[in-house]
């Protein structure tokens, strides 16, 4: 995308700000937060610092969206902060929108990393013209039980700690999980979650090579944001590759179908050059994955007659572990014939 600013790459010794933009999870489950902070610092050699309200009472944070917004603005504007990572998602970071200043983000481009309800902040960064990164949060990702998944570690290093082109995005082959272990039980932190067999990504349709800039997020949050000031303009959607995924609340295939129809009604589907769909979130049985594929096909192919657009599903991003990192605003290539997805440019600068 023309005019998008890329942040400076992260490196060992950097200071990373932990921001709580939605649910006050660090206050509710402090041991889980500390585990994520500890594993992030140890694995990548960085120092994690909290903003003034990162650890505040969850009820108080819910009532004070401006405080959460102020933390984000402070993290972007503070020259001592090199990067920003969301502590956890939730469902109400949309309430921080009135208190954000996109100019502060534009003038101070930094790595912002998070997923789920952080979709709100990603669209804010997109509007500001700054590349941001859809990937793990401190409590869901970096706090993985029994240590970090190497697939995720590699994705973070290649995308955020190196100014070289990211290259091919490969499916995880070492097993995936959506098992829920109660964060309130300290003993669970050292217990590795059970893995399901990796079956690869599913290329549903498309031929040849298609290129476009990545845009997307959690489909539920995108639905909430439609019509707000941060909803991307038609120009931003034009030529994009849309990536979407579902949350731990396990939206049904019918919910996904209706969400896709909303994209169609907004004119988005006719503008984009590809669709990437994450493995369904919320402990959905594997035998039901095909119903989500069929929901997308129903809208894109049967209703909108878009028979050439690439569709790839069951991918390793969003509410599944381990997860990759997807940079919003960066060019992505889908080669349908060889079933390869690549990013042929760097996503951060030296």
**Sign, Cα dihedral of 50, 15, 150, 287:** positive
For 270: left if phi > 0, alpha if psi spans -120 to 50, otherwise beta; the answer is alpha
**Sign, Cα dihedral of 211, 217, 218, 221:** negative
- What tokens appear for 286 in the block? 């594997």
pLDDT of residue 43: 98
Domains (range + CATH), the chain: 15-165 (3.40.50.10740), 186-343 (3.50.30.60)
* Terminal alpha carbon distance of the chain: 19
CA angle 106, 334, 219 (to 5 degrees): 60
CA distances from 349 to 6, 86, 103, 329, 342 (A): 6, 21, 20, 14, 18
Closest by Cα among 289, 348, 346 to 315: 289
Tell the burial category of 264 from Cβ atoms under 10 Å away from its Cβ (0-12, 13-18, 19+): middle
pLDDT of residue 136: 98
CA angle 2, 153, 87 (to 5 degrees): 75
* Mean pLDDT, the chain, integer: 97
pLDDT of residue 3: 87
Q: What are the 10-residue block averages of pLDDT along the chain, 350 residues in total?
A: 92 98 98 98 98 98 98 98 98 98 98 98 98 98 98 98 98 97 96 96 97 98 96 96 98 98 97 98 96 98 97 98 98 98 97
Q: What is the DSSP letter of 149?
A: -
Q: What are the start-end ranges of the E strands in the chain?
A: 15-19, 47-50, 83-86, 111-114, 132-134, 167-169, 202-205, 209-218, 240-245, 274-278, 311-315, 326-328, 331-335, 340-343
**SS3 call for 10:** coil
């Amino acid at each position: 995308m023309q005019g998008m600013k890329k942040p400076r790459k992260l490196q060992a010794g950097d200071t990373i700000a932990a921001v709580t933009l939605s649910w006050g999870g660090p206050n509710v489950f402090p041991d889980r937060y500390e585990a994520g902070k500890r594993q992030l610092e140890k694995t990548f050699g960085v120092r994690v610092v909290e903003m003034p309200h990162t650890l505040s009472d969850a009820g108080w944070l819910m009532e004070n969206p401006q405080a959460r917004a102020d933390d984000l603005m402070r993290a972007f504007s503070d020259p001592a902060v090199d990067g920003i990572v969301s502590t956890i998602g939730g469902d109400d970071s949309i309430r921080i929108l009135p208190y954000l200043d996109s100019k502060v983000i534009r003038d101070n481009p930094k790595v912002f990393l998070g997923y789920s309800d952080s979709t709100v902040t990603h669209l804010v960064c997109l509007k500001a013209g700054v590349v941001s990164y859809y990937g793990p949060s401190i409590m869901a990702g970096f706090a993985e039980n029994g240590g970090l998944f190497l697939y995720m570690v590699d994705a973070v290093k290649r995308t955020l700690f190196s100014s070289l082109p990211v290259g091919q995005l490969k499916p995880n082959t070492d097993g995936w999980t959506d098992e829920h272990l109660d964060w309130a039980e300290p003993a669970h932190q050292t217990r590795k979650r059970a893995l399901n067999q990796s079956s690869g990504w599913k290329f549903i349709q498309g031929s040849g090579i298609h290129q476009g800039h990545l845009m997307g997020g959690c489909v539920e949050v995108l639905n909430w944001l439609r019509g707000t000031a941060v909803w991307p303009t038609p120009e931003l959607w034009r030529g994009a590759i849309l990536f979407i995924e579902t949350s731990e609340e396990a939206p049904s295939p019918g919910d996904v179908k209706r969400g896709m129809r909303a994209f169609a009604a907004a004119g988005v589907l006719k503008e984009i050059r590809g669709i990437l769909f994450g493995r369904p979130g919320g402990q959905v049985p594997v035998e039901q994955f095909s119903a989500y594929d069929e929901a997308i096909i129903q809208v894109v192919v049967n209703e909108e007659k878009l028979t050439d657009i690439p569709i790839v599903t069951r991918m390793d991003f969003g509410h599944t572990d381990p997860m990759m990192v997807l940079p919003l605003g960066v060019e992505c290539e889908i080669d349908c014939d060889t079933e390869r997805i690549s990013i042929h440019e760097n996503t951060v600068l030296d």
